[in-house]
Amino acid sequence: MHTAIARFLQYLAVERNASPYTIKSYREDLSTFAEYLGRARGGPPPEPAGITARHLRGYVTALHEAGYARSSVARHLAAIRSFFRFGMREGWAKTNPAKPLRTPRKNRVLPHFLSTDEVFRLLEAPPEDEPLGLRDRAILETMYSAGLRVGELVQLNDEDVDFAGGVVRVRGKGRRERLAPLGSHALKAIRRWEQARTTFFPPADKTAAGPLFVNRFGRRLTTRSVARMLEKYLKQTGLDSRTSPHSLRHSFATHLLDRGADIRSVQELLGHKSLVTTQIYTHLSTAALREAYERAHPRAR
């Protein structure tokens, strides 16, 4: 089982050119499945050819009983399906035992977002008279201006920013690249940060592609560092503690739709592969309109 998993992960890396994050997710999900099978039989897990739909139903039940969210169970099943599709291609699996299993329907949860006034309060929180304050303001401005995922933000290099064109090259999910527009406020903030960085935080590795955002040691920022930075400014401003780096992306999409942007354009700006993923933001806009209607219309209730 473990040998087959290793071969599958190698296939993802070499032939599918999957991102390190995707490979890490598949490795964790398949390892969890193998551990379950081993515990169930009181020894090593069976070879993949011996795994049946009955094993998988037991596994799905165990995940539900352990408190996994429906979305997490669906992700585990998707990993197992892909694993056995690879097995059928390689010849060590005759069928895909995960195929007949129904994927749990995901709970539809509206994403958390900030109002425009709240976003502006957050963007103005970092001090402009400190180098790290300039960096933090540039980070927040860039995330909100371009609607970036935090993982996309920390991967940005200096060469990705086109000041003349007002765009930034973004490496999204599935290694898909896109050009995202940057507003004048974000471009100005990045310029000021780069000037401060040259003086106070020279890059730790001068041979590598220069990361746009670095820590005080000149090394590329991590997603966790950005999350901690945001938590600090949320406390300072008194904004909702549920706000995460991804909330700025949600706010970006919601504010665009509220101001008349068409959903296809927002899909492109967000880098969504499917329009269905983008449509969640239309529910946010509709909910806001409904709330305003019920507050104002004398016959609404």
In a domain, 95, yes or no: no
User: pLDDT, tens digit, for every residue of 62-108?
Assistant: 999 998 888 899 999 999 999 999 999 999 888 899 888 888 776 66
Indicate if 246 belongs to the active site.
Answer: yes
pLDDT score of 109 more than 70: no
Indicate if 149 belongs to the active site.
Answer: yes
**Between 55 and 288, the higher pLDDT residue:** 55
The one catalytic residue among 246, 250, 273, 299 = 246
% of the chain exceeding 90 in pLDDT = 58
The pair of three-digit structure tokens given for residue 220, joined into one six-digit string: 């590329």
| DSSP for 165-190, written as a single string | TTEEEEE-GGG-EEEEE--HHHHHHH
Q: Which of 262, 245, 254 is nearest to 285 (CA)?
A: 254
The one catalytic residue among 55, 76, 220, 249 = 249
User: pLDDT, tens digit, for every residue of 165-212?
Assistant: 999 999 887 778 899 999 999 999 999 999 999 888 877 666 556 899
Indicate if 281 belongs to the active site.
Answer: yes
Tell me what the pLDDT averaged over the chain comes to. 88
Check the CA dihedral 228-232-235-237 and report its sign. negative
User: Cβ of 211: how many Cβ atoms within 10 Å?
Assistant: 21
Q: What is the CA radius of gyration of the chain?
A: 23
Q: What is the pLDDT of residue 284?
A: 63
In a domain, 111, yes or no: no
Q: What is the pLDDT of residue 283?
A: 67
Q: Do 270 and 163 lie in a common domain? A: yes
The one catalytic residue among 26, 59, 233, 281 = 281
The one catalytic residue among 85, 169, 173, 178 = 173
Question: Domain of 127: which CATH number?
Answer: 1.10.443.10
Q: Do 134 and 233 lie in a common domain? A: yes
Q: What is the pLDDT of residue 46?
A: 86
The pair of three-digit structure tokens given for residue 228, joined into one six-digit string: 């901690």
pLDDT score of 254 more than 60: yes
Q: What is the DSSP letter of 159?
A: G
Q: Which of 41-45, 47-51, 106-110, 158-162 has the lowest mean pLDDT?
A: 106-110
Picking from 29, 56, 90, the residue at the C-terminal end of a domain is: 90
22 Cβ neighbours under 8 A, 6+ residues apart: 12, 174
The pair of three-digit structure tokens given for residue 229, joined into one six-digit string: 């930075």
In a domain, 73, yes or no: yes
The one catalytic residue among 55, 149, 197, 220 = 149
Q: Do 204 and 74 lie in a common domain? A: no
Task: Quote the CA–CA distance of 97 and 60 in Å, as a whole number.
Answer: 13
Torsion of CA 218, 224, 230, 236, to 10 degrees: -90
Whether 212 contacts 220, CB under 8 Å: no
In this prediction, residues 148-169 reach a mean pLDDT of: 94
Task: Quote the CA–CA distance of 245 and 167 in Å, as a whole number.
Answer: 20
- Domain range spanning residue 26? 2-90
In a domain, 101, yes or no: no
User: pLDDT, tens digit, for every residue of 198-247?
Assistant: 888 877 666 556 899 999 988 999 999 999 999 999 999 999 999 999 99
Whether 154 contacts 223, CB under 8 Å: yes
Q: What is the pLDDT of residue 205?
A: 64
